[in-house]
Amino acid sequence: MKKRYCLPFVAFLCFLVFGNLDAQVDLPTPKLPTIPNKVFNIKDFGGVSDNKTDNTTAIQKAIDAANNAGGGKVVVPEGVYLCGPLVINSNLELHLDEGVTLKLLPLSRYPGGTTDGTDFIHGEKLHDIAITGKGTIDGQGADWWPFAKTDKTAKRPRMISLKECDKILIEDVTLMNSPMFHIAIGGKSSNGTVSRVTVRAPASDDAILASHNTDACDVSGKDFLIKDCDISTGDDDFTSGSNTSNVHVMNCKFGYGHGLSMGSYTRGGASNFLVENCTFNNTECGIRIKSDRDRGGLVQNLVYRNLKMTNVGIPILIYSSYMTKDKEFRNLQKVTGSIASAYPSAPVTDLTPIFSNITFQDITATAASGKRAGLIWGLPEALATNIIFKNVNISASTAFGIFFAKNVRFENCKISTIEGLNKLDMTNAEVSIDGKAVK
């Protein structure tokens, strides 16, 4: 039998513990990897930079030699190298010199093609791993992306895939045009740092060359720092989900993509997130927190502050109906309070999404023409609770929607839409503006 929560008690307990959250989050600094001071140049193992030769064997030999020596730095010197899937080891740094382009073998030459989907740089249950340097990894994804629409059984490789790993550093590299995700760090990994990384792929609505499921950086586990990155891609600019805690995103620039996301899987919970000093330009969403009844958990203690958003689809989005197939509820730009009021209730289970104790502070945003200011949409059986806005200024065409939510507070905020200043669209919501209840 599935475990059931007592919602009034859960909401009351969350309020007692977190109700006075004032945008302060104390996060540990992730531990960095330690790499032995030994160097292995791929050219000493047969590497050829002619943009034709398959260098998979040569680079894997260099990685294996480093592993046999107890670890070290595998160096890819200036040039253009084609390569297939690589298995990395603990105590390893893969360093791409400036002027390097490491290309995935094209789809026609990639082992297994779309029936296998072996990830490019991958490893499991490792420790002390680094991918560094000012070189570029090019996924040559254009031939892979159409399969995301035309063949649901097709498998595409992720560019960097690490599972159940500890002490990870990805720094300074440029990642572009991955067949699927660019960085995927999951399976209860820990101590991950992604620093000064640039990610580029065409927007998912690009009329000529759309990329699909090309998330820039996905993480799950604990103790992550994402800083000083520059990201434009065809899916989530950043995302995290189930069983994830202690995540710090700072000083990043987000361009095309779905925004800075959480979910849709949040089973096992997500907590202690701090996103600060970031910019968003032309993103589909700014902050995007999503889940549904078959994949949820307790999401709490999130802080978003000092953010600037320009021409975004929805600056702030929190919702629990990600998988609904009802067209009336799927269009998040047009769903109104009267529409949302008809959303059906369901029993509470251990997979019910619960959103609580989220702070938005010192944010300036302009929505794209015709788009809404924001949306908070809980469930009839699990209200979104303790959502705080401080010094938030949003300009948009249509109103901020707040559905199935409790203790939503706006303090010194200006939400400007064609309906007027601080005019909200609400249903089943308890909201105050500068201490006064909104009716």
- pLDDT tens digits, residue range 344-397? 999 999 999 999 999 999 999 999 999 999 999 999 999 999 999 999 999 999
Let me know if residue 94 belongs to a domain. Answer: yes
User: Per residue in 397-407, is it b (16+ CB within 10 Å) or e — as a string?
Assistant: ebbbbbbbbbb
Task: State the pairing for strand pair 424-433/436-437.
Answer: antiparallel
What value does the mean pLDDT take over residues 81-105?
A: 98
- Write the single-letter amino acid at 369: S
SS3 per residue for 194-239: EECCEEECCCCCCCCCCCCCCCCEEEEEEEEEEECCEEECCCCCEE
- Determine the structural domain holding residue 188 and report its residue range: 7-437
pLDDT above 50 for 430? yes
Let me know if residue 41 belongs to a domain. Answer: yes
Cα(256)–Cα(285) distance, integer angstroms: 10
Contact 86, 110 (CB under 8 A): no
pLDDT digits (tens, 9 = 90+) for 265-316: 999 999 999 999 999 999 999 999 999 999 999 999 999 999 999 999 999 9
7 confidence band (pLDDT: 50, 70, 90): very low
Let me know if residue 95 belongs to a domain. Answer: yes
Let me know if residue 1 belongs to a domain. Answer: no
Distances (CA, A) of 115 to 126, 190, 214: 26, 31, 19
pLDDT digits (tens, 9 = 90+) for 356-368: 999 999 999 999 9
Alpha helices in 97-250 (DSSP H): 113-116, 147-150
- pLDDT number for residue 208: 75
pTM of the model: 0.93
Q: Which residue did the predictor score with more confidence, 6 or 176?
A: 176
How many domains does the chain divide into? 1
205: CB partners within 8 A, 6+ apart: none
Let me know if residue 175 belongs to a domain. Answer: yes
pLDDT above 80 for 157? yes
Arithmetic mean of pLDDT over the chain: 93
pLDDT above 90 for 18? no
- pLDDT number for residue 10: 41
pLDDT digits (tens, 9 = 90+) for 105-141: 999 999 999 999 999 999 999 999 999 999 999 999 9
Contact 340, 282 (CB under 8 A): no
- pLDDT number for residue 24: 58
pLDDT digits (tens, 9 = 90+) for 62-88: 999 999 999 999 999 999 999 999 999
Let me know if residue 2 belongs to a domain. Answer: no
419 confidence band (pLDDT: 50, 70, 90): very high
Let me know if residue 383 belongs to a domain. Answer: yes
Write the CATH number for 339: 2.160.20.10
Q: Which residue did the predictor score with more confidence, 205 or 352?
A: 352
Let me know if residue 229 belongs to a domain. Answer: yes
